[in-house]
Structure 1
Amino acid sequence: MVKVAIQSVQFPNRYVRLDGKGVTSHTPTGGGTVDTQTHIGTYETYTRVENNDGTVSFKSTVFDNVFLRLDASGVTAGQDLASGGGIVNAQYNAGSLERFKIKKQADASGIVGIESAASPGRYLRLDGSANKVNVQGVFKTYESFKIVDVSK
């Protein structure tokens, strides 16, 4: 298993941070808090889990069995919302909302979009100026990430 951090390309000093306090069992709406941080600490590291269906999940390295969750409710594929939408938080165990497809850009830059497997065409979005992580219906600048290997 590979330990990674999720770094914004638009805001290169911002990483996806998951605080899974209180997430100790599955709930329909998830829990915890996902926002941004300016450095890679323990809350910004994940175990990249390769699922049998070709998707990946991001498991917290701090909170036992807690995963990054993307609920794209209210976000239509192809829709470019000014401030994004949906909900990104945490969930106990990895179900459908905790599975992602990694979409590489056409060039060899290592830049990827993190697409919801449950809601195709919806992407993880990070706005570093607002300290916000949510969902977008397009893969543009705020949806561009580098998955940094921090295993070493």
Structure 2
Amino acid sequence: MIRRFYKRANALNSVTIRSAKFPDVYLRCDGSKVDKFTGPGSGVVNCQYKPDEEWELFHIYPIAMKPSLAPPSEFPVHILSAEWDNVYIRMDGSGMDKPNASGGGCVNCQYGARSYEQFYYRSEGNGGLDGKFSFRSIYFPHCYLRLDGTNVVAHTGPGGGTVNCQYYDNPSSALPNGVMETFYIS
């Protein structure tokens, strides 16, 4: 079962998480000063224009697996920075109770993985055949990881854009095409 997940998620290697809406924009994590647990998290999670480098590399690790005969749909995972030791992507969807055009909540880093660092890794669009995936918070089940790379048009040292979360009324339905909550894993 674990091998099936690793193969599907390509978690044996470092991967990039690239926006499906903004094809040259990648998820970026600056965990340079994240060296201990803090309640509200710390560090910076934002976007970076190609080419992807060390701060845009991640490991997607399973938390648990369904039995081997269960159809693959969504898997509980942690998103670990490949560059920063023990630094995970963290999502706080507090106060998110309806969709918002600009998203909301807070996405940053956390030292060590606890409840806010758990996501469902899920195939989107055409049963995953088009290679799109999403990350839905386990702790905030209506909230999805959202990347807005609207003004990210050149590679910069500090990155740019906005990474936050988006609320969906029905978290178990497939996400619409063209939304900021879908990604390619490569």
**TM-score > 0.5 by shorter chain:** yes
Q: Is the 8 A contact 1:126 1:143 kept in 2?
A: yes
Q: Is the 8 A contact 1:2 1:48 kept in 2?
A: no
Matches of 2:92 and 2:185, distance apart in 1: 21
Give 1:70-149 correspondences, 5 Å limit: 70-76=91-97, 79-107=98-126, 108-130=129-151, 131-138=161-168, 139-140=175-176, 141-148=179-186
Structure with greater strand percent: 1
Matches of 2:125 and 2:58, distance apart in 1: 25
Matches of 2:13 and 2:116, distance apart in 1: 21
TM-fit CA distance, 1:115? 0.3
Structure with greater helix percent: 2
Paired residue type of 1:49? Y
What RMSD, in angstroms, separates the aligned Cα atoms of the two structures? Answer: 1.4
Question: After TM superposition, which residue ranges in structure 1, 4 or more long, deviate above 6 angstroms?
Answer: none
Task: Report the equivalent of 1:17.
Answer: 28
TM-fit CA distance, 1:48? 1.4
Task: Report the equivalent of 2:71.
Answer: none
Larger radius of gyration: 2
Q: Is the 8 A contact 2:16 2:185 kept in 1?
A: yes
Structure 1 unaligned segments of length 5 or more: list them.
none
Counting matched residue pairs gives 146
Structure 2 unaligned segments of length 5 or more: list them.
1-11, 66-74, 152-160, 169-174
TM-fit CA distance, 1:103? 2.1
Q: Is the 8 A contact 1:75 1:86 kept in 2?
A: yes
- The answer on 1:30 being equivalent to 2:41 is yes
Q: Is the 8 A contact 2:125 2:132 kept in 1?
A: no
